[in-house]
Chains A and B, each alone.
Chain A
């Protein structure tokens, strides 16, 4: 019985230690420092995505591709 209690206590201690390490690994909150104006600018990832939008395929290329594939497969 004592052995069982000792093992359970050990597991609990390990779980608590694991929890503490996980908490310590949490990144610090990214709140802006007080007194500084909060600047809202479009994230650069979104600016880049907007730029990529210009090269987005229309989908009509697929029909041409499929035509080519079918032609290659049947010829």
Chain B
């Protein structure tokens, strides 16, 4: 009798787990295709690659920027003046430190080799800044798809909170609305988008945003652990929209990432001895990329 009960219980558990796993995978696969095409729209284009290897950092594109107000919903007089900017910065590969070499914010894009020249690789970093009054936070683990954005807030190299925003168009102006969590305090954040010639504005996506039914943003937050877990195996946080254009709960979407080997200490030493920098980062889909030894000339070794 006992054996029968145990067997039945195991069988039920196995069945439920299998059904759940299949269901999750199916949903992910359906959503991932549409979502990844949005990421491709803001990926680094070959046309954006510079002709020469940079010696200093420069901004390649801005995701969003503006100023506004962050309000504590529990205490309406607890509000802060907010200034934010996020984008992609081209940095010399020699600036990539050992700890940052496999950062989910690091993107390595290589040009196509021609008959006259070898392929050159360039390192880009997704980054950002948020000021709440005079408190300065840097943004890392930045995900952006032109309609929503999420990031982790850092202060003096320590995680202190997170940010999630969605783009809303009102009166013909772009407003970024969402939540920011700092030191376990939640604030509603409203940013009036500022104009900047470096802002990414895909015409197709822009027109879709204009057509989204005004439903009022649901202010959804995403916590640091969720973002970290999502990035661990390659993935991006995505805030989708329902059929009526209303934002949905932030979810972690992963592409079909192929497993890559980690940067070994020996490879790093060999690379440094040749005057290069070992970099990996992530690809356009957010999947961990294969490590490359980028030499000072921009060419890769090995």
Contacts and interface: CB of A to CB of B under 8 A. Distances in A.
A49 B129 CA distance: 6
A44 B265 contact: no
B202 interface: no
A16 to B, nearest CB: 14
Interface in A6-49: 6-7, 10, 14, 25, 27, 30, 32-33, 36, 39, 41-49
Contact of A45 (B6, B87, B105, B192): B105
B253 interface: no
A55 B129 CA distance: 10
Interface string B128-142: 110100000011100
B79 to A, nearest CB: 15
Interface string B71-110: 0000000000101011101010001111110010110000
B40 interface: no
B201 interface: no
Interface in B58-77: 58-59, 62, 65-68
B5 interface: yes
B67 A59 contact: yes
Interface string B227-266: 0000010000000000000000000000000000000010
Contacts, number: 126
Interface in B176-195: 192, 194-195
A41 B127 contact: no
Contacts of A27: 232
A62 interface: yes
Nearest to B66: A57
Contacts of A52: 59, 62, 85-87, 89, 127-129
A49 to B, nearest CB: 4
B13 A14 contact: yes
Contact of B2 (A2, A32, A48): A2
A45 B155 CA distance: 12
A66 B99 CA distance: 43
Contact of A47 (B57, B85, B126, B173): B57
B100 A57 contact: no
B171 interface: yes
B194 A51 contact: no
Given A49-B129, A52-B59, A30 B67 contact: no
Given A47-B57, A57-B194, 16 more contacts: A43-B100, A44-B91, A45-B100, A45-B125, A45-B140, A48-B57, A48-B89, A48-B91, A52-B62, A53-B129, A54-B59, A56-B131, A57-B85, A65-B192, A69-B173, A72-B171
23 contacts: A3-B5, A7-B5, A14-B13, A32-B98, A43-B97, A45-B100, A46-B127, A46-B138, A47-B89, A49-B128, A49-B129, A51-B57, A51-B89, A52-B85, A54-B59, A55-B62, A56-B65, A57-B65, A58-B67, A59-B67, A65-B192, A69-B173, A72-B172
Interface of B: 1-2, 5-6, 9-10, 13, 57-59, 62, 65-68, 81, 83, 85-87, 89, 91, 95-100, 103, 105-106, 123, 125-129, 131, 138-140, 154, 157, 171-173, 192, 194-196, 198, 232, 265
Interface of A: 2-3, 6-7, 10, 14, 25, 27, 30, 32-33, 36, 39, 41-49, 51-59, 61-62, 65-66, 69, 72-73
**Closest 7 pairs (CB-CB, A-B):** A48-B127, A48-B89, A41-B97, A57-B194, A48-B125, A44-B100, A59-B67
